[in-house]
Structure formats: C-alpha cells, structure tokens
C-alpha cells in the first residue's frame, strides 16, 4: 500500500516536506481564492531548484498547464503537471512576496510574507538556503495585457480546487499560503485574507 502524507498549511504560513521520486503531490485550495507559492528543490542538493526561467526556455510556455514539465536550474526534469481542477490561472513570473513588497504598498510594520515563510518552513525540517528559489505561484491570476503589463486579478479558485504533480526525482517542497491581503491595483488577489491550503503526498506503491 502506498503512503499518504497530509499537511495543512495555515493562512500566512508555510510548510515543507520531502517527496520521493514517483510520488504525486496534490495542492488543494481549502477555502477558495488563495494563492500558494510552491518552491521545489532537489533533495540531494537544495541549491538545485525548479527554475521558471529554464522551464520557459524548455517549454516556450508562459503559464503552467496540465501536461507541462518543470526543469531545474541545471536543466534537469523535476516535476510533471498531471491534473488541474481549478480555472487554470497560475503564474511562473513573480518572485515570492517579501517585506520590501509590503513596505512599498504602505505597510510600516513587518507584514507576513512568503519569503520569510519559506525560510521558516525549510529550517523546520533542518535545511537551509541563502535565498528562496523562484516559486510556481499556484492559483495566481496575473495575466499581461496587450502592452505586456501585468494586471492584478482576484484568484479564481474555489474551495476544493486542486492541482496535482508527479515528482520526477527525490524532492523537497515548500508551500506558502500567500499573504497578499492588501489591495493591488484596486484588486484583492486573495479576497482580503490569507486562508489555508492542503498538501497531499501519495507515495509510490
């Protein structure tokens, strides 16, 4: 019987897990309208990570979609996109939100953010990196207009929507529930409050 690991990522927080090659990784928006930053690294060396830039070079595709594969900074296959029950809005362009991002939006006090939550989650399983890799921004609705300028939109996922991937090598993943609870371009990307996400890891039989 295959193993099944279930993790809940609370709003404004992050969680990390180790994933064996061949396992399936399901990310679920538990309450709806929540962006999740998914960071994917090689378990043998967390300095190697999924690179959205290299992935775009390999696939010539701006946004993730079912059937796509994701490649590392060393051009090695790390992840395959198997299933998507959401409306299909995801992003491979934006860095994780950080303190400077929220400061620019007018927050005087430190604001919860995906960069800090990445480091906290990774250290929670005894690992560290000097900087976070660029994430896959699941359920993030930021589509460029005809001038190539990004337009902020509200996440279109609803409660229970999920995406599923297959690990193509032994991995370490970190998932953060994005903290972007402020208006951006007059829109509330996550509906005004960060909410929980689910991680299900189905091991190889």
Domains of the chain: total: 1
Token pair listed for 88 = 């299909």
pLDDT at 2: 67
- Tell me the CB-side half-sphere exposure of residue 69, using CA atoms within 13 A: 11
DSSP codes, 74-91 = TS-EEEEEEEE-S----B
Give the chain's residues under pLDDT 50: 1
**What pLDDT, in 10s, does the model give residues 4-63?**
999 999 999 999 999 999 999 999 999 999 999 999 999 999 999 999 999 999 999 989
List the one residue out of 24, 164, 175 whose CA is nearest residue 85.
Answer: 164
Tell me if the pTM is above 0.75.
yes
Domain region containing 40: 4-202
Using CA atoms in the order 205, 197, 136, 185, what is the torsion angle rounded to 10 degrees?
170
Q: What is the CB neighbour count within 10 angstroms for residue 73?
A: 17
| pLDDT of 204 | 73
Q: Which residues lie below 8 Å from residue 169, measured CB to CB, with a gap of 6+?
A: 21, 42, 43, 44, 76, 77, 78
Contact, 177 vs 34, CB < 8 A?
Answer: yes
Query: Measured between alpha carbons, how far is 60 from 144 in angstroms, rounded to an integer?
Result: 16
Question: Burial level of 40, CB count in 10 A (0-12/13-18/19+)?
Answer: buried
């Amino acid at each position: 019987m295959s193993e099944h690991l279930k993790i809940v990522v609370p709003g404004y927080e992050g969680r990390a897990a180790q994933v064996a090659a061949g396992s399936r990784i399901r990310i679920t928006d538990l309450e709806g309208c929540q962006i999740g930053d998914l960071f994917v690294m090689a378990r043998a060396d967390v300095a190697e990570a999924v690179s959205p830039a290299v992935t775009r070079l390999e696939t010539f595709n701006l946004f993730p979609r079912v059937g796509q594969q994701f490649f590392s900074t060393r051009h090695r296959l790390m992840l395959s996109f198997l299933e998507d029950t959401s409306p299909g809005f995801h992003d491979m362009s934006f860095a994780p939100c950080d303190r400077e991002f929220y400061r620019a939006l007018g927050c005087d006090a430190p604001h919860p953010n995906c960069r800090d939550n990445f480091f906290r989650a990774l250290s929670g399983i005894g690992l560290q990196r000097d900087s976070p890799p660029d994430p896959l921004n699941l359920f993030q609705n930021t589509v460029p207009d005809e001038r190539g300028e990004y337009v902020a939109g509200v996440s279109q996922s609803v409660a229970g929507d999920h995406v599923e991937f297959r690990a193509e090598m032994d991995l370490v993943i970190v998932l953060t529930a994005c903290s972007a609870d402020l208006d951006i371009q007059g829109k509330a990307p996550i509906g005004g409050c960060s909410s929980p996400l689910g991680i299900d890891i189905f091991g190889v039989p």
